[in-house]
Amino acid sequence: MPRERILIVDDEETIRVLVKETIRRRTPYEPIVACDGQEAMEILQKTPVNLVITDLIMPRMDGRQLLESVRSFNPNIPVIILTCYGTIDNAVDLLRQGAWDYITKPFQTGEFIQRVDKAMETLQLKQEIRELREQLGEGRGKLDLIIGNSPNVVNLLKKVPAVARSDVAVILYGDSGTGKELFAKAIHNTSGRATGPFITVNCGALPDTLLENELFGHAKGAYTDALYDQEGMVSQADGGTLFLDEIGDISLNVQVKLLRFLQEKEFKPLGAKTVRKADVRIIAATNRNLPEEVKKGEFREDLFYRLNIIPLELPRLRDRKDDIPLLINHFLKKYRHLHGGKIEGISPLALQRLVSHEWPGNVRELENKIQQLVVMTNTNVILEESLHLDDGKPSKSVEQPSEKLSFKEAKRRVVEEFERTYITRLLKRHKGNITRAAKDAQKNRRAFWQLIKKYNIAATEYAEKGNEAE
Per-domain boundaries in the chain? 5-125, 167-315, 319-462
Does the pLDDT value for residue 31 go beyond 50?
yes
Q: What is the 3-state secondary structure (H, E, C) of 141-196?
A: HCHHHCCCCCHHHHHHHHHHHHHHHCCCCEEEECCCCCCHHHHHHHHHHCCCCCCC
The letter for the amino acid at 399 is E
Superfamily of domain 5-125: Response regulator (3.40.50.2300)
Contact by Cβ (8 Å): 63, 37: yes
pTM strictly above 0.85: no
Tell me what percent of the residues of the chain surpass a pLDDT of 90: 26
CATH number 3.40.50.1170 given to 319-462: no
Q: Which residues of 322-347 are buried (b: 16+ CB within 10 A; e: fewer)?
A: bbbebbbbbbbeebeeeeebebebbb
398 confidence band (pLDDT: 50, 70, 90):
very low
Q: Which class is 167-315 in CATH?
A: alpha beta
- Mean residue pLDDT of the chain comes to 82
- pLDDT (tens digit per residue) in 114-163: 888 888 887 777 776 666 656 555 444 455 568 887 888 888 888 888 89
Distance between CA 134 and CA 153 in Å, rounded? 17
Distance between CA 21 and CA 106 in Å, rounded? 15
- pLDDT (tens digit per residue) in 315-337: 999 899 888 888 988 888 888 87
pLDDT at 219: 79
Asked whether this chain's domains 5-125 and 167-315 adopt the same fold, the reply is yes
Helix axes 324-339, 348-356, angle to 10 degrees: 110
Q: What is the 3-state secondary structure (H, E, C) of the chain?
A: CCCCEEEEECCCHHHHHHHHHHHHHHCCCEEEEECCHHHHHHHHHHCCCCEEEEECCCCCCCHHHHHHHHHHHCCCCCEEEEECCCCHHHHHHHHHHCCCEEEECCCCHHHHHHHHHHHHHHHHHHHHHHHHHHHHCHHHHCHHHCCCCCHHHHHHHHHHHHHHHCCCCEEEECCCCCCHHHHHHHHHHCCCCCCCCEEEEEHHHCCHHHHHHHHHCECCCCCCCCCCCECCHHHHCCCCEEEEECHHHCCHHHHHHHHHHHHHCEECCECCCCCEECCCEEEEEECCCHHHHHHCCCCCHHHHHHHCCEEEECCCHHHCHHHHHHHHHHHHHHHHHHHCCCCCEECHHHHHHHHHCCCCCHHHHHHHHHHHHHHHCCCCEECHHHCCCCCCCCCCCCCCCCCCCCHHHHHHHHHHHHHHHHHHHHHHHCCCCHHHHHHHCCCCHHHHHHHHHHCCCCHHHHCCCCCCCC
Tell me what percent of the residues of the chain surpass a pLDDT of 70: 84
- pLDDT (tens digit per residue) in 143-152: 556 888 788 8
Contact by Cβ (8 Å): 315, 274: no
